[in-house]
Amino acid sequence: MTTGRDVAKLAALVAGGAAVGAGLGLLYAPHSGVETRRQIRHYTKKAQIRATRFGRSMKAELNRAVDYGKSFVTKQQNGRPVRAA
């Protein structure tokens, strides 16, 4: 059975490991903070543009499918036989 002391020790070890890992990450970072933030902004802007393009593409495809469905229903309502492609 775990006690409060064991949980506190484990939490201290995890926090210490996180601090050591963050410190080593800063020491061995390949770029300065300014350069890293610039790269992050660049990649997020790129991802935003891609997501916008993808959304527009999906909207266009959905509209095309809806239009096709409407024309299909209209053809059936007019009594014309519909052939499968």
Distance CA 63, CA 48 (A): 22
In tens, the pLDDT along 40-77 reads 899 899 999 999 999 999 999 999 999 998 888 887 77
Global pTM?
A: 0.49
Instruction: For residue 80, give both structure tokens.
Output: 């014309």
In tens, the pLDDT along 3-34 reads 778 888 888 999 999 989 888 887 788 888 78
Cβ-based neighbour number of residue 25 at 10 Å: 9
